Amino acid sequence: MALDKKLLKDIVGRLVVTKEGKRLGIVKDISFETRTGELIQIILKEATPYTRNLNLEISSQKEPIVPYNSIIAIGDFVVVSEEDLL
């Protein structure tokens, strides 16, 4: 699924929610492929207790990582599919 291109500054700080409306945390940073600019994953800060129960991959700073393929939309929020997180 192709998402409209967004600037990094437009994504960092956005609330991440599931399509069911459950809050996961705030976008702290993103990682991307340097050659293509393709988004690989987003790193969360202020993860909710719900997020900690999802068994997501954890960064070296102990922060949850959300894979790109779970992102449905980026607007006022970053919306992810919980099914793609499991």
Give the tens place of pLDDT for each residue, 48-73. Answer: 999 988 889 999 999 999 998 999 99
Q: Are 79 and 18 within 8 A, CB to CB?
A: yes
- Is 3 part of any domain? no
- 32 against 78, higher pLDDT: 78
Q: How many domains does the chain have?
A: 1
What is the three-class DSSP state of 80? strand
- Domain membership of residue 30 as a residue range: 8-84
Q: What is the pTM of this model?
A: 0.83
Burial of residue 41 (CB within 10 Å: 0-12, 13-18, 19+) is buried
DSSP calls for 20-37: T--EEEEEEEEEE-TTT-
Q: How many CB atoms lie within 10 A of CB 63?
A: 18
CATH number at residue 57: 2.30.30.240
Q: What is the pLDDT of residue 3?
A: 53
- Is 2 part of any domain? no
Distance of CA 20 to the CA centre of its chain: 15
- 84 against 2, higher pLDDT: 84
- Is 1 part of any domain? no
Give the tens place of pLDDT for each residue, 6-37. Answer: 566 778 999 999 999 999 999 999 888 888 87
